[in-house]
C-alpha cells in the first residue's frame, strides 16, 4: 500500500489520520506541492493521478492493483476493506449524517481554499496577499459557522459521540489550516474543543504535518 502525500495537504492529512486510527501501515511517498513548480505536475506523478492532486492511494501495484484518488473515497475504501476500528457506526442515519458533515468540509470549504485556488488568485488574478487572506477567511468562517451549528447537539469528545469517525478525520486538518491563516476560533467553541481533544491522541498527533518526514 502506498500513499502519495504532502505534509501540509489537508486531504492527505485526513487519510493519514484514518490509517493511524485503524492501525494500518502504508508507504508514504512525498509529493511536494511547491518545490520545483510543484511535483504534482510532473509527468511521472500525472501517470498516477491525472488530476495532479494529492492524495493518491496505490494498492497492490506489484499485482496490477489499482490507484484511488479523492480522500473520502480512500476513507470509504479503507473502511470497507478494514472494518476493524470502524470509523462509521452501524446506524444508517448516523452514517449519513457523518458523511454529510465530512462532505461539508471536503466539498464546500476545502476546494475554495486549497493551494491551486490560492495560487490562481495571487498569480493569474494578481490579487493582493490581503485580498487572498480575506478570501480564505471568508469561506472558512462561513463553513465553520455551519459546522458549529451542526455540532450543537453533539455532547461527545468527537464530532459524533465518543468515537472518532470520518468527521474528525476531516475536521482536524481543516482547523489546522485555519489556524495557520490566523483564523480566530472563539466563535466556534465546539469545533475548538473537538480539535483540542483529538490532538491529545497519538493517531492524530502522528498524522500532523510537523510529524511527517517531508515537513519543512
Domain CATH code at residue 176: 1.20.1050.10
Q: Give residue 132's pLDDT.
A: 95
In a domain, 216, yes or no: no
Query: pLDDT value at position 203?
Result: 98
Helix, strand, or coil here: 56?
Answer: strand
- Based on the domain organization, do 61 and 115 belong to the same domain? no
- Positions of the chain with pLDDT under 70: 61-64
Grid cell of 195 as nine digits: 480539535
Q: Is residue 215 part of a domain?
A: no
146 found inside a domain:
yes
State which residues form the domain around 77.
2-85
Can you tell me the distance from the alpha carbon of 97 to that of 193, in angstroms, rounded to the nearest whole number? Answer: 20
Distance in angstroms (rounded) separating the CA atoms of residues 170 and 102: 6
With respect to residue 210, please indicate whether it lies within any of the assigned structural domains: no
Structure confidence at residue 136 (pLDDT): 96
Alpha helical stretches, state H, the chain: 10-21, 43-48, 71-81, 92-103, 110-113, 115-122, 129-150, 166-180, 189-198, 202-205
Shared domain check, 96 and 66: no
Residue 48 and residue 66 share a domain: yes
Of 66, 85, 104, the residue that ends a domain is 85
pTM score: 0.95
User: 89-122: per-residue pLDDT in tens?
Assistant: 999 999 999 999 999 999 999 999 999 999 999 9
pLDDT of the residue at 19: 98
Is there a single domain that holds both residue 51 and residue 138? no
Q: Which of residues 54, 85, 116 is at a domain's end?
A: 85
Domain for residue 214, yes or no? no
Q: Would residue 208 count as lying in a domain?
A: no
Residue 198 maps to a domain:
yes
- 3-state SS assignment for residue 98: helix
Q: Report the distance separating Cα 163 and Cα 175, nearest Å.
A: 19
Residue 62 has a pLDDT of 64
- pLDDT, residue 63, reads 66
Amino acid at each position: 500500500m502506498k500513499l502519495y502525500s504532502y505534509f501540509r495537504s489537508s486531504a492527505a492529512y485526513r487519510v493519514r489520520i484514518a490509517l493511524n486510527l485503524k492501525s494500518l501501515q502504508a508507504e508514504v511517498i512525498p509529493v511536494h506541492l511547491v518545490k520545483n513548480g510543484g511535483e504534482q505536475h510532473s509527468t511521472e506523478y500525472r501517470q498516477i493521478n491525472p488530476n495532479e492532486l494529492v492524495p493518491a492511494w496505490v494498492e497492490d501495484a506489484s499485482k496490477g492493483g489499482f490507484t484511488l484518488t479523492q480522500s473520502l473515497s480512500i476513507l470509504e475504501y479503507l473502511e470497507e476493506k478494514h472494518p476493524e476500528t470502524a470509523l462509521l457506526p452501524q446506524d444508517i442515519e448516523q452514517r449519513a449524517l457523518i458523511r454529510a458533515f465530512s462532505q461539508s468540509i471536503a466539498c464546500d470549504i476545502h476546494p475554495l481554499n486549497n493551494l491551486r485556488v490560492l495560487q490562481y488568485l495571487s498569480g493569474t488574478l494578481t490579487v493582493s496577499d490581503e485580498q487572498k487572506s480575506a478570501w480564505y477567511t471568508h469561506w472558512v468562517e462561513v463553513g465553520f459557522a455551519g459546522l458549529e451549528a451542526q455540532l450543537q447537539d453533539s455532547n461527545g469528545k468527537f464530532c459524533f459521540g465518543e468515537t472518532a469517525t470520518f468527521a474528525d478525520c476531516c475536521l482536524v486538518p481543516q482547523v489546522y489550516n485555519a489556524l495557520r491563516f490566523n483564523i480566530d476560533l472563539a466563535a466556534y467553541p465546539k469545533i475548538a474543543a473537538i480539535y483540542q481533544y483529538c490532538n491529545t491522541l497519538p493517531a492524530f498527533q502522528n498524522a500532523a504535518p510537523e510529524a511527517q518526514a517531508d515537513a519543512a
